[in-house]
Homo-oligomer: A and B are copies of this chain.
């Protein structure tokens, strides 16, 4: 499509780089913003810039955070003896939303996947192992995707910490194979945290 305006063309180009947004939707969003007060666009642009330049990873759990230590890790009311290992920031939110978990998290940033070229070194696995060795928590709960990659990742970590006399569990497989954690409904996710089982009992290798 031709736009007769470089400003519009550039904005549509940038918006349609976002996943799931095609050129027509991008155009609609751009022209929608033109009808709204200028402040709305400027606030969006500022929120975007601030987010992308100021957001940090928590130095303890690698969740995204406004501060060096995230509000969960800095909260003395949370159970720092129970570490829930998840893949992504969205998974932290999904578990938090169940209201069933009062421990702390560790965000790996993904799962080991030779197919996609993701090795343990591409993830925050080594910091997790060092954290467990240092803090020696009571329990480590794996809340990873119920896929081969999720299992592989859990097993990789399990091997490194299994001799430390720490309870290692995994959330109950209430979710079907291949489904993503963040889309499980809250009841299923809450129950799967409740019914966690020892990690070595869950292995399907």
Contact = CB atoms under 8 A, between A and B. Distances in A.
Interface of A: 1-8, 10-11, 13-15, 17-20, 25, 27-34, 38, 40-55, 63-66, 70-72, 88-90, 92-93, 96-97
A108 B161 CA distance: 69
Given A19-B32, A55-B34, A3 B93 contact: yes
B52 A34 contact: yes
Given A2-B93, A19-B28, A8 B42 contact: no
Given A4-B63, A96-B2, A45 B34 contact: no
Number of identical monomers bound together in the oligomeric complex: 2
Contacts of A50: 7, 10-11
Contacts of A28: 19, 90
A59 to B, nearest CB: 15
